[in-house]
Amino acid sequence: MTDFTLFDMLRGLWGGLQWTLGLSLLAFVLGGTMGLLILFARMSSSVTLRTFAKVYIELFQGTPLLMQLFMLFFGISLMGLDISPLVAAALGLTLFTSAFLAEIWRGCVQSIPEGQWEATDSLAFSYWEQMRYVILPQAFRIAIPPTVGFSVQVVKGTSVASIIGFAELTKTGTMIANATFDPFTVFGLVALGYFALCWPLSLFARRLEGGARVTR
């Protein structure tokens, strides 16, 4: 048994926590950008784009993230292409995040009263002018609380990346637990690490929800 002090455990887990935070931010930013494109495709007048967006969303919402990462990482390797666990994890979480954000935002856009669309029609706005100047600014305010709330799921979802060998917080904790034979202490610290990342986001989301109710 290797002698590990509590400080050694914390120092090792700190590196995993940083990777978890970095992966979460990367997946959320790229997933949000891609989700916006999927949103416009989902609401497009083109049947082809709407069908593609619907299938895309159903596919990534209807299958486990664990399976998506496994198929992505090992499937690409079977095709003879080398891909690092970081790239696979970032790509998998981006696709997963974009599907959910697109649906969250679509619901927010569709929650805008029909009268707002009719008012912009009377002003002879084009579709993109309607979206830019009237619909999206209102939908943006509505979307902030559920979007921040979903960011908590993204942070926790990074733990699944351990299945492909990416050394985020959970994988790092597993390796330390195997070396110390003290899983309760190690995974207790891992849980505290996730809590430290997610709790402020949860508080922020609840605060935004309260503010949204007051402004209505």
Helices 6-42 and 47-61: angle between axes, nearest 10 degrees = 150
Return the H-helix or E-strand segment holding 6.
Answer: helix 6-42
pLDDT (tens digit per residue) in 125-146:
777 788 877 888 888 888 988 8
Q: Report phi then psi at 134, rounded to 5.
A: -125, -55
Spatial separation of the C-alpha atoms in residues 157 and 173, rounded to whole Å:
16
**pLDDT above 50 for 1:** no
Nearest CA-CA partner of 19 in 77, 75, 108, 84? 84
Q: Identity (one letter) of the amino acid at 81? A: L
Report yes or no: 172 and 81 within 8 Å, Cβ to Cβ: no
For the CA atoms of 43, 45, 50, 52, what is the dihedral angle to 10 degrees? -130
**pLDDT above 70 for 216:** no
pLDDT (tens digit per residue) in 188-199:
999 999 999 999
Which pLDDT does position 118 carry in this prediction?
A: 74
Half-sphere exposure of 121 (CA within 13 A, CB side): 5
Q: How confident is the model at residue 210 (pLDDT cuts 50, 70, 90)?
A: low
Report yes or no: 166 and 153 within 8 Å, Cβ to Cβ: no
> Can you tell me the mean pLDDT for 24-31?
96
Higher pLDDT, 121 or 214: 121
What six digits make up the tokens of 100? 């959910």
Which pLDDT does position 215 carry in this prediction?
A: 53
**pLDDT above 60 for 212:** no
C-alpha pair distances (Å), 98 with each of 1, 34, 105, 147, 166:
44, 6, 10, 11, 21
Spatial separation of the C-alpha atoms in residues 96 and 154, rounded to whole Å:
9
* pTM for this predicted structure: 0.87
pLDDT (tens digit per residue) in 104-131:
999 999 888 888 777 777 777 777 788 8
Query: Residues near 203 by Cβ (< 8 Å), separated by ≥ 6?
Result: none
Q: How confident is the model at residue 211 (pLDDT cuts 50, 70, 90)?
A: low
Report yes or no: 176 and 12 within 8 Å, Cβ to Cβ: yes
Spatial separation of the C-alpha atoms in residues 68 and 115, rounded to whole Å:
41
